[in-house]
Amino acid sequence: MDTLTERLDTWVEAGLVSPEQAERIASFEGGQSKHTGFSPATRGTLGLDGRTDARSPTTSTAAPPRGSRADRDRTSLAEAIGYVGAALALGAIALLLGELWSQLLVGGRLALVGVLTVAVFGAGLALRGAERGAMRRLTSVLFAATVAGGGWFAGVVANDVADLGWAEIGVSVGGSMLVVSAALYLWRSGALLQLATLASALVTAGFALSVSDLQPDPAWYGVAFATIGVTWFVLSSGGWLSPRGLGEVTGALAALLGVQVAAFDGATVPVLAIGVLGAGGLVWLSVHHDRLHYLIVGAIALFVLAPQLVFELFGDAIGAPAMLLLVGLLLVLLAVGLGRARREVVRDHTEPQGGAS
């Protein structure tokens, strides 16, 4: 311990470790944090002799902690200024669209959209290393605006330069947004970029089916949307997409949208039955794996699809009684799932307290 004490004295004087760290090291090595034989200088620095050394890091000149109120106020002010600036920029863009857009040449339109897109992307790059939550949110907003700007630029090119049809313009806009949002999301994941990527994929798939001269049946649109939604849900459940919960919810909702769109076709009963089975599977997963968002999405899907299936199967004759019975069963199932989820939340909060006592 004499050798350790000498080394700790040297490390504290050299500023390699703080006095508190030296005390913890000595306590761990010797088992007696206050009887380790520190030199008088080190004991004074540690506060073991009732004095506080001027070199102590607890002096009043230390920087305020990262989570201090002053730091939060500065961050909130910066975020507010950023959002106000974005609102003013959107207002200016609206004025340009309303008054000057029709007077601009194609080159002027492309230059305007390109400059705006590069500007918001550059602002996002400047803030990409920020560690504060407010700055991260502002960065996500700027990158989402970059995605919108990329789609806008592609739309101007497709409409004013290439003179394409509405379906081709939709594919160009959706495809450009999908490429930009996917690239940004892979580089810097976030909720807004995840939503932008999924929305762009749905838009691209929908317009891609409309490009053909033969108008496809609604079932094909539904299959495309449902496939994207299920794929998104599986990727999120496997941990490949972040935030995971958001990806699971949006993927399930996209699948529900696909089922609803496909139900407009002639094969309504099989499509609705598949949707009801999928919603029931989500409810089952929520009960057995304690995922409340599964229960919420599954319940919404059941309330939307199950009544349609009942009326398709039984018609108006017994539709109302069957509907009441179905709604009652769904409410009971929802109550069971909510009760299970609530018990799990209460147990998670009480277990650490019991372990501490």
> Model pTM?
0.69
Write down the mean pLDDT value for the chain: 78
Look up residue 264 and give its two tokens: 């407009």
pLDDT tens for each residue of 215-231: 788 889 999 999 999 99
Model confidence over 124-146: pLDDT tens digits?
898 877 666 677 888 888 999 99
Q: Would you state the structure tokens that stand for residue 305, as one six-digit string?
A: 């699809």
240 or 351: whose pLDDT is higher?
A: 240
* 153, 113 contact by CB (below 8 A): yes
Across 55-59, 199-203, 215-219, 340-344, least confident range: 55-59
Q: What are phi and psi of 37, to 5 degrees?
A: 75, 35
The predicted structure's pLDDT at residue 121? 94
More confident residue, 197 or 95: 197
Confidence band for 69, pLDDT divided at 50, 70 and 90: very low
Is there a contact between 345 and 315 (Cβ–Cβ < 8 Å)?
no
Q: Each residue of 249-261: pLDDT tens digit?
A: 999 999 999 999 9
How far is the CA of 98 from the CAs of 87, 92, 155, in angstroms?
Answer: 17, 10, 17
Q: Is 154 helix (H, G, I), strand (E, B) or coil?
A: helix
Residue 246: predicted pLDDT? 93
124 HSE (CA, 13 A, CB side): 21
Alpha-carbon span 268 to 262, nearest angstrom? 8
d(CA 37, CA 48): 11
What is the C-alpha separation between 237 and 357, in angstroms, rounded?
36
pLDDT band at 304 (very low <50, low <70, confident <90, very high): confident
Q: What does the alpha-carbon distance between residue 340 and residue 290 come to, in Å, rounded to a whole number?
A: 7
Specify the higher pLDDT residue, 151 or 80: 151
The DSSP letter of residue 321 is H
Check if the beta carbon of residue 56 is closer than 8 Å to that of residue 19.
Answer: yes
Q: Examine the pLDDT at 266 and tell me if it is beyond 60.
A: yes
pLDDT digits (tens, 9 = 90+) for 308-352: 887 787 766 665 666 667 667 767 766 766 666 555 555 554 554
- Look at residue 194 and tell me whether its pLDDT is greater than 90: yes
Query: Over pLDDT 90: what percentage of the chain?
Result: 33
User: 243 Cβ partners below 8 Å, 6+ apart?
Assistant: 191, 194
pLDDT of residue 354: 45
